[in-house]
Structure 1
Amino acid sequence: MTDAVGSIDTPDAQDEVPESKKTRKGGKRAKKGPLKRLATFYRQIIAELRKVVWPTRNQLTSYTTVVIFFVAIMIRLVTVIDYGLNHAAKYVFG
């Protein structure tokens, strides 16, 4: 009987990894101490925060107003649906 392509019994040639390629142990992180890594982490945080485009006060005010308005509408919608389902359940189940 012939084996199917990619069967478990016969591994493909692509699955075999040559032993000459060994994975590196450690890398750059293993060479640094914990305090040096922490300092690098904080430097990276500061660098990323400098890239952020912060909204202006007018944009922030308008975005906040839109969010509050949307949340108020959603609260009203859920309240109306809940009220309707409550009355429907009382009507059906007595």
Structure 2
Amino acid sequence: MSEALVTDTAASSSKGHAKKAAKPGKPGFFARIAIFLRQVIGELKKVVTPTRKELINYTAVVLVFVVIMMAIVTVLDLGFGQAVLWIFGGNVNIEQ
């Protein structure tokens, strides 16, 4: 009985390559676009818009952060500029 099983398996695998059929589980091009759009709409329904108070609070936090970062960058720029002038001698008179 095991010989018949091996023979059937060997016979079926030696028939050559059959024409590949499309995967039945894979949706077509337009179906994938439709699924994508449904998922986008589903995600947009989850978005919660902030209240006016929250929006003002978030805006104030961002503006304060930007002002602090500007101050840090300005101080570093002035410091590095002074260091370069001190290292390379910035007060040399060209007209001699």
TM-score category (smaller protein): 0.5 to 0.7
Inter-CA distance 26–87: structure 2 relative to 1 (3 Å threshold) = farther
**How many residues end up aligned between the 2 structures?**
68
Two-structure CA RMSD over aligned residues (Å) = 1.8
Tell me the TM-score normalized by structure 2: 0.62
2:66 pairs with 62, 66, 71, which one? Answer: 71
* Displaced runs of 4 or more, over 4 A: none
Q: Aligned pair in 2 of structure 1 residues 38, 90: CA closer, same or farther (>3 Å)?
A: same
Match of 1:59 in 2: 54
- Pick one of 26, 35, 41 that aligns with 1:40: 35
2:77 to 64, 79, 82: 82
Give CA-to-partner distance per residue, 1:1-21, whole Å, 9 cap, x none.
xxxxxxxxxxxxxxxxxxxxx
1:9-28 equivalence runs, <5 A: 26=23, 28=25
Unaligned runs of 5+ in 1: 1-24
Greater relative contact order: 1 or 2 (C-alpha under 8 angstroms, separation 6 or more)?
1
Structure 1 residue 52: deviation in Å?
Answer: 2.2
Report which of the two structures shows the higher radius of gyration computed on alpha carbons. Answer: 2
